[in-house]
Amino acid sequence: SRSGSRGDQGRPLRRRPEYETTCCKARKGTNVNILLIGSGGREHAIAWALQKSPNTDVLYVAPGNGGTAEIAENVDLDIADGEALLSFVHERNIGLVVIGPEAPLVDGVADLLRADGVPVFGPNADGAQLEGSKAYSKAFMEANDIPTAAYGRFDDDAAALAYVREQGAPIVIKADGLAAGKGVTVALTKEEANEAICECFDGRFGEAGSTVVLEEMMTGPECSMLAFTDGVTMIPMAPSQDHKRAYENDEGPNTGGMGVYSPVPIVTDEEHATMVDIMERAVAGLREEGIDYRGVLYGGFMLTPQGPKLLEFNARFGDPETQVVLPRLETDLVDVMVATAQRRLSEIELSWRPEWAVSVVLASEGYPGDYAKGFEITGIDEANALPGVHVYHAGTKVEDGKVYTNGGRVLNVTALGGTFEEARDRAYEACDLIDWDGKFMRRDIGARAMRGRSAWES
Ligand code: AMP
Ligand code: GLY
């Protein structure tokens, strides 16, 4: 192991004294080199927020995408190769590693770096189990009195099918492990439920589907509360609302998210307080289990008639939630992340811009199922030139200065505005300037919420 020669004494530059003693004031001359891991729209938005900080010296993104290439240095680094990752971090004098996606967290990339004395934003593998295993997560919620849907956990199809016979439909089927937001089926009939169960055990999600969670279906609007936590202090970010279904009017299959807005005025003060209380209980529960959790804890809530209940935890920033939350964050993100990594989050206070933010996902026709890629995208610069608009790249590839589609969710078009309508209209104006063969989006981001809570009563 290389850790004997590392740590704070071996590399004094990695923990600058200023970071130990000062709070969120601008710190001239205390620049830090940062490595951000990931390649989605979320990472482009994180890169953008880190890059605008005077505290950032050099920002590397591994592997990054066409958007991060414009504002940071993309690096071709195999993060599964621990030796290569550690060498890079030490050679480039990286003072903060930010891990964007869930897979490297579940795989223990944070553990490896942290054990080597590197300040990391993102939980270790034990904390990431809150997202990596639905069964673990449900047991954790139960143990910590966190309101959530009633459930059963099954390791074979016969028992799961018997539970459906007993409980009836509607019922929700969840693959236990990571499935890129596609492992959940809300089944309205027993037949649909049986089919989803068989698909899971037949290996549609690989190992991730060898255990299945079956849940009571809850109803109500959804709300995402992302929170910074260093394992002791928890600071909630501004709430946002994602749109999980592929098609308008919340129809079609679940996706990773098709569009999002913030703030979320349909959330009452009482509901907000309950969500904060649940997040606090979660952080306390992690601490009791001896889990050292530093990063983002994401609570996915449903605002049911019985109050907010937790749908799921994620161990990272939401995608596309980040694309509306970070543009509204006024506080320097480097300050927040370094404080989180060093367990000094109690020194931080967050402040938010009063503007609204709306982000629309431009996807490839066919997503979340099969889709073609490699189409040339036009109009991104024109869209970016509109006031208050940021186009974040998600699944793109740049070749010879041209941008091509390279994934299911291709671009996230975020706009800020003084009102919801202004932000939304700017976002869609920008979306309409962008084109490729097979561009697909929802036209109704935020529309249901603007009709008020009654839009969820049917
Ligand atoms: P999850 O990954 O567990 O958050 O599930 C993805 C999406 O499926 C959620 O955002 C909801 O839209 C939906 N969903 C999950 N669990 C339930 C449930 N118990 N009742 C109703 N909808 C659910
Ligand atoms: N937007 C949903 C997620 O990040 O999981």
Atom of ligand 1 nearest to the CA of 134: 3
Which one of 102, 138, 167, 172 would you pick to mutate in the ligand 1 pocket, going by the greatest count of ligand atoms within 8 A of its CB? 172
Phi, psi (degrees; rounded to nearest 5) at 332: -65, 120
Ligand that lies nearest to the alpha carbon of residue 260, given by its number in the listed order:
2
Q: Say how far residue 78 (Cα) sits from the centre of its chain.
A: 22
Distance linking the first and last C-alpha atoms of the chain: 60
Ligand 2, CB cutoff 6 Å, lining residues: 181, 242, 256-257, 314, 318-319, 321
The encoded tokens of residue 39 equal 């390649």
Contact status, residue 238 vs residue 260, Cβ threshold 8 Å: no
Please report where in the chains the tokens 């959804």 appear, as a residue.
222
Residue located nearest, by CA, to atom 4 of ligand 2? 318
pLDDT computed for residue 195 by the predictor: 86
List pLDDT tens digits, range 222-280.
999 999 999 999 999 999 999 999 999 999 988 989 999 999 999 999 999 999 999 99
**Segment 147-171, tens digit of pLDDT:** 999 998 888 888 888 888 888 889 9
Q: What per-residue confidence (pLDDT) applies to 167?
A: 86
Q: What is the pLDDT of residue 295?
A: 98
* Residues of the chain under the 50 pLDDT cut: 1-29
- Edge-to-edge strand list for the sheet holding 402-405: 376-377, 402-405, 396-399
Cα–Cα nearest to 365, from 448, 246, 284, 272: 246
Comparing C-alpha atoms, which of 183, 187, 189, 188 is closest to residue 203?
183
The torsion angles phi and psi of 109, rounded to 5 degrees, stand at -65, -35
Residue 18 CB partners (closer than 8 Å, separation 6+) = 27, 30
Calculate the CA 166 to chain-centre distance: 35
For position 375, what pLDDT does the model report?
98
**Ligand 1 proximity of 246 Cβ (cutoff 6 Å):** no
Q: How far, rounded to the nearest angstrom, does the alpha carbon of residue 390 sit from its chain's CA centroid?
A: 18
Residue 98: beta bridge partners? Answer: 36, 121
> Is residue 319 lining ligand 1, measured as CB closer than 6 Å?
no
pLDDT at 443: 97
276, 300 contact by CB (below 8 A): no
Torsions phi, psi of 311, nearest 5? -80, -45
Instruction: Return the H-helix or E-strand segment holding 157.
Output: helix 157-167
CA distance 366 to 410: 12
Sheet holding 73-74, edge to edge: 73-74, 56-63, 32-38, 94-99, 120-121
In this prediction, residue 458 carries a pLDDT of 65
pLDDT at 22: 36
**142, 171 Cβ separation under 8 angstroms:** no
Q: How far apart are CA 139 and CA 152, in angstroms?
A: 10
What's the confidence (pLDDT) of residue 4? Answer: 31
Tell how far CA 295 is from the center of its chain.
Answer: 11
